[in-house]
Amino acid sequence: MLDLIAAFFIASGTVFFVAGTVGLLRFPDIFCRLHALTKADGLGLALIALGVGLLAGTPGEIFRIALVWSALAVASATCSHLVARYALRSGMEGRDD
């Protein structure tokens, strides 16, 4: 039963990653694209980490999974903020394609 719950979380996380990628490719401007990536990929990573954490054998493995998730969450937020700030300062508004 635990394997099925973990598989559900991992599959749900994968769906959110795909949705973020579609948003990156389909949205009109850089700010919408950043929003799609940070929100969908952040939730996708959290769901995948939760699913893998359920399958982990030791508390040490769970701690390492949580550590990787938190580091990637901070890095993602920081990078997207820097990209948005650069785009705003360089005058990118509206559609940029």
Q: For the CA atoms of the chain, what is the radius of gyration? A: 16
How high is the pLDDT of residue 30? 87
pLDDT confidence bin for 94, thresholds 50/70/90: low
Given a cut of 70, whether residue 21 has pLDDT beyond it is: yes
Entry pTM: 0.81
How high is the pLDDT of residue 39? 87
In-domain check, residue 94 = no
In-domain check, residue 80 = yes
Q: How many CA atoms lie within 13 A of 28 on its CB side?
A: 3
- Phi and psi at 56, nearest 5°, equal -65, 150
- Domain range for 32: 2-89
Query: pLDDT tens-digit profile of 32-67?
Result: 888 888 888 889 999 999 999 999 989 999 999 999
In-domain check, residue 34 = yes
User: Number of structural domains, the chain?
Assistant: 1
In-domain check, residue 58 = yes
Query: pLDDT tens-digit profile of 8-20?
Result: 999 999 999 999 9
Which of 34, 5, 37 is closest to 19 using CA atoms? 37
Q: Looking only at Cα atoms, what is the longest distance across the chain? A: 53
